[in-house]
Amino acid sequence: MEIIRFDNVHFKYPGSEKETLRGISLSVEEGTFVAVLGRNGSGKSSLAKHMNAILLPSSGRVTVCGMDTADEDRILDIRRNVGMVFQNPDNQIVANVVEDDVAFAPENLGVPSDQIRRRVDDALTLVDMFNFKTHAPHLLSGGQKQRVAIAGVLAMRPKIIVLDEPTAMLDPQGRRDVISTVTALCRENGMTVILITHHMDECVNADRVIVMADGSVVKDGTPQSVFSDVDTMEKHGLSAPETVKILYDLNRSGYSFSLTTLDVQTCAEKIAEALGK
């Protein structure tokens, strides 16, 4: 079932001469994991902000869960269904205790208090932070804080979670934890996940990768099909994961690997086979 739809969306920031989004049309199926890539200034974040009505199209239409984002009467419904997580966890945490922070959104939504308790516990369990519920957020690591921020969004029980570079400030362990958390939310809980990132290796498990350039969608397909087009990726300031790059360069030295390999083990097996092992 379609959950997000963009119909010929154009967007221009007030006072700017240049269009940030230039005629975007796309449709996202419920329960898919979509990664959005593109160089800085390509329109990725503006695209994301259209999904929960932080920005409204200058022309065209965005529909989320069947609701037009330009319909002011539905704005609370839209924001309840589309949770957003941003780059810096410190800017997203408001309370002095982890569980209070997670309860912030459902409290504001007027959820009865016995249900809040359950929602907070469920959300913290989903991000594997239940044991930290009485901790002070500022003493957590970056990855832990970001997972608390995700729990805060989950406590609204949204259908869609949009993450705008959630790992940019995290160490490798924090990145691994956040990415495996959002992957599980999609695979095990059927949530629709939109992940904006500069880290190509975070897109490997996505169902679909969308590449933006200059306000338009220039590539849209499975990670295998998008990353195997190494030349287009480079043209748009991006790079393929090392598994694809190494096979690509080996091909230039006479090998003939298909470039659809995204995990390290399969990549190594292909190379070993070609080397006669």
Least distance in angstroms from the C-beta of 239 to another protein: 5
State how far the Cα of 257 lies from the Cα of 18, in Å rounded to an integer.
Answer: 42
Select the residue interacting with another protein from 10, 22, 23, 41 (CB under 8 A): 41
Structure tokens at 8: 């010929």
Q: Are 89 and 146 in contact (CB under 8 A)?
A: yes
CA nearest to 47, candidates 69, 77, 73, 71: 69
| Contacting range for another protein; rule: CB under 8 A; set: 113-121, 122-130, 150-158, 174-182 | 174-182
Give yes or no for residue 277 binding another protein (CB under 8 A): yes
Structure tokens at 273: 């086979």
Select the residue interacting with another protein from 137, 174, 215, 223 (CB under 8 A): 174
State how far the Cα of 191 lies from the Cα of 200, in Å rounded to an integer.
Answer: 22
CA nearest to 227, candidates 216, 250, 211: 211
CA dihedral 112→113→119→122, nearest 10 degrees, is -150
Q: Work out whether strand 59-64 and strand 33-37 pair parallel, antiparallel, or are unpaired.
A: unpaired
| Contacting range for another protein; rule: CB under 8 A; set: 28-36, 69-77, 163-171, 222-230 | 163-171
Give yes or no for residue 239 binding another protein (CB under 8 A): yes
- Provide the b/e sequence for 57-88 (b: ≥16 CB within 10 Å): beebebbbbebbbeeeebeeebbbbbbbbbbe
* Ramachandran assignment for 242, one of left (phi > 0), alpha (psi -120 to 50 degrees), beta (any other): alpha
Give yes or no for residue 14 binding another protein (CB under 8 A): no
Give yes or no for residue 91 binding another protein (CB under 8 A): no
> Nearer to another protein by C-beta: 49 or 159?
49
| Contacting range for another protein; rule: CB under 8 A; set: 32-40, 76-84, 121-129, 184-192 | 32-40
| Contacting range for another protein; rule: CB under 8 A; set: 104-112, 113-121, 215-223, 247-255 | 247-255
Give yes or no for residue 158 binding another protein (CB under 8 A): no
Least distance in angstroms from the C-beta of 203 to another protein: 13
105's enclosing H/E stretch is: helix 98-108
Site string for another protein, 199-228 (x = CB under 8 A): -xx---------------------------
| Contacting range for another protein; rule: CB under 8 A; set: 71-79, 107-115, 120-128, 248-256 | 248-256
Give yes or no for residue 267 binding another protein (CB under 8 A): yes
Least distance in angstroms from the C-beta of 171 to another protein: 5
